Chains A and B, each alone.
Chain A
Amino acid sequence: GEDVEQSLFLSVREGDSSVINCTYTDSSSTYLYWYKQEPGAGLQLLTYIFSNMDMKQDQRLTVLLNKKDKHLSLRIADTQTGDSAIYFCAESPLNQAGTALIFGKGTTLSVSS
């Protein structure tokens, strides 16, 4: 069945790079997403990648996609304390408009100064 897996916690020091990893199962997913959730807030779309791409960079964020291994990663360069949050990986099965995204359980990123 459809499943998205993430490690639960990541702790880094301010200024270091953070890499959050995710694996998914549905090879038909055409888009993969990263969302950020700060305490008590909704989900903020950070970035997404189309499945025919290997990499996408947006300022401090770099998304890498290995479609063969169904592995997605989010790299945050020069991590700041404001990056502390829960990061969710999500896939869009069949990319149908009426289909909800499948989310991982979220990775809690803790940034220490």
Chain B
Amino acid sequence: GAVVSQHPSWVICKSGTSVKIECRSLDFQATTMFWYRQFPKKSLMLMATSNEGSKATYEQGVEKDKFLINHASLTLSTLTVTSAHPEDSSFYICSARWGETQYFGPGTRLLVL
């Protein structure tokens, strides 16, 4: 099956700093990737749809200036959490569509102190 990787797997940062999370499709090309956020014991909340070569499409209530998404190539999308605050602490998961299925990365746990 298709493999999606994320880096880093976890990160701890100080409040006010920016954190970049990478999502890569390792053995397939993905024109569309998705970024989700998951709170403890909750379902996945779609944040945005990342489109290669164009602007991301953000879901209602997600601040595009805070969560910067760049899909620079067919195998890489990045999510940058700018000026992170403790309330941004969460589990961030990306996914990429391949054929009729969507494959997920292992997730990145962000803790903002």
* Cross-interface CB contact of B46 among A43, A50, A88, A100, cutoff 8 Å: A100
Are B43 and A88 within 8 A (Cβ)?
Answer: yes
How distant is the Cα of A35 from the Cα of B102 in the complex, in angstroms?
A: 10
Q: Is the interface on chain B under 10, 10 to 19, 20 to 34, or 35 or more residues?
A: 20 to 34
Determine the distance from Cα of A45 to Cα of B31 in the docked complex, in whole angstroms.
20
A105 touches B107 (CB 8 A): no
Question: Does the CB pair A42–B105 fall under 8 Å?
Answer: yes
Within 8 A of A (CB), among B49-105: 49, 51, 93, 95, 97, 100-105
Q: Which residue of A lies closest to B57 (CB)?
A: A98
Q: Nearest Cβ in chain A — how far from B59, in angstroms?
A: 9
* A106:B106 contact, CB within 8 angstroms: no
A:33-52 near B, CB below 8 Å: 33, 35, 40-45, 48, 50
Q: What 0/1 pattern do residues 46 to 81 of A give for CB contact below 8 A with B?
A: 001010000000000000000000000000000000
Indicate if the CB atoms of A48 and B43 lie closer than 8 Å: no
Decide: A45 near B1, CB < 8 A? Known: A31-B100, A35-B104, A40-B109. yes
| Interface residues of A, Cβ cutoff 8 Å to B | 30-31, 33, 35, 40-45, 48, 50, 88, 90, 92, 95, 97-98, 100-101, 103-106, 108
Q: How far, in Å, is B104 (CB) from chain A's closest CB?
A: 4
B32 touches A98 (CB 8 A): yes
Please report the C-alpha to C-alpha distance between residue A35 and residue B107 in the assembled complex, in whole angstroms: 14
Q: Is residue B44 contacting chain A, with contact meaning CB distance below 8 A?
A: yes
Chain B residues whose CB sits within 8 angstroms of the CB of A88 once the complex forms: 43-44
Decide: B105 and A105 in contact? CB cutoff 8 A.
Answer: no
**Are the C-beta atoms of A33 and B101 separated by less than 8 Å?**
yes
Q: Are B104 and A42 in contact (CB under 8 A)?
A: yes
- In Å, the complex CA distance between A48 and B42 comes to 22
The answer to whether A105 touches B32, judged by C-beta atoms less than 8 angstroms apart, is no
Q: Are B43 and A103 in contact (CB under 8 A)?
A: yes
Tell me which residues across on chain B come within 8 A of A31, comparing CB atoms.
100-101
Are the CB atoms of B43 and A106 closer together than 8 Å?
A: yes
